[in-house]
Structure 1
């Protein structure tokens, strides 16, 4: 049985076409093409050269690797996913990732991707992601999360930081992306997205009929990740 089948927030789909064609509705704001992938993705990690904390791996870089049969199967899966998303009209990025940049400027609100957050776009779009190797992201049911800007002590300190006319405060929150971040409520139960599954997450965009999916990047703890995202 699928490990995501009984989660009201998640709908499991059988293939890529269903993944991109199924509308979000009701409480469902995460779609999962659940897969068990056959291939050695760790071999690809070991052969790639990390140029920075996040290295975008081009198709040329990927195809130039000298791989074993299992490594080659993993590469074929990645290339196929990139092609499927590109043909769909998305702009996928395939990354070898050591860590994201931390935002340590403010001590009362976290605004990096390690905190729970939602994505936003001015146009109709969604977030697609797949972790082939390494720690995977978490999502959180919306009723188990609270928007950080509505936590009284956080809001008080944001108002002090803003220090301007009241009618501009909401714009200040959006311009600095404070309104995108969330805190997990007590007893919240995060859902780990696992390895190999291709996910489509609802975001904050003008035409969405559902709440955006609250998610966060995992702690890598010095380990590398292979991540496709767009």
Structure 2
């Protein structure tokens, strides 16, 4: 089970895929969760896949060809059902085995990698779907407990030094380099783990969005691989 006592009513839980995709975001609700307790051995999927690099994409054909135990087959059936349901919805899900993501140390005062709380942005209406089946799950942060990093005076001053252009182009510079997507948690912030097996739909920053985008981040790895579906 996930602990939603920290969610400040921004999370709405549902009990089916149809409700997950059909329930509208509204007010401060910018995260919808299909809460599930899954069966099967998802670690076996990771062990049977040939891993390459930091992130390995498991293609559906490869997944179907794996020789698995009964528990591994149960896990595979769930993965295939999720892949097919998301594709039927019009999404483009990717199943990844993640060792770690690349770190961004280009600008130490404002890293822009996925370990930083950030929002997703799109020029067209869309949502972010994700589910962690094995390993450390992602986290979200209540919007009221995060501050856009480009508004923090000391960070903004560093960005202006980096920019060195006309004032009217500064905001465009922040957007072009994705600096404005990242947030800093307040000292007393309480993050929310997305848990294992739950399929989430998160609000994205796009022109037609009626709600604030959801602040989220990848977890710091604890030495084990993650099995993640995302789109």
TM-score normalised per structure 2: 0.97
What residue ranges of structure 1 are gaps of 5+ in the alignment?
none
Larger mean CA deviation between 49-58 and 151-160 belongs to 49-58
In the alignment, what sits opposite 1:187? 188
Deviation at 1:52, TM superposition (A): 1.4
Deviation at 1:113, TM superposition (A): 0.2
In the alignment, what sits opposite 1:4? 4
Distance in 2 between the 1:206 and 1:21 partners?
20
1:181-220 deviation per Cα after TM superposition (whole angstroms, max 9, x unaligned): 0000011000000100000000101111100000000011
Deviation at 1:2, TM superposition (A): 6.5
Does the 8 Å CA contact 1:129/1:227 hold for their aligned counterparts?
Answer: yes
Moved over 3 A (4+): 1-7
Deviation at 1:4, TM superposition (A): 3.2
Does the 8 Å CA contact 2:104/2:112 hold for their aligned counterparts?
Answer: yes
Larger mean CA deviation between 220-229 and 126-135 belongs to 220-229
Does the 8 Å CA contact 2:2/2:193 hold for their aligned counterparts?
Answer: no
In the alignment, what sits opposite 1:156? 157
In the alignment, what sits opposite 1:143? 144
1:117-161 deviation per Cα after TM superposition (whole angstroms, max 9, x unaligned): 000000000000000000010000000000000000000000000
What residue ranges of structure 2 are gaps of 5+ in the alignment?
none
Alignment of 1:55-204 (within 5 A): 55-204=56-205
What is the number of equivalent residue pairs in this alignment?
230
Deviation at 1:3, TM superposition (A): 3.6
Distance in 2 between the 1:78 and 1:21 partners?
21
Does the 8 Å CA contact 1:4/1:12 hold for their aligned counterparts?
Answer: no
RMSD: 1.2
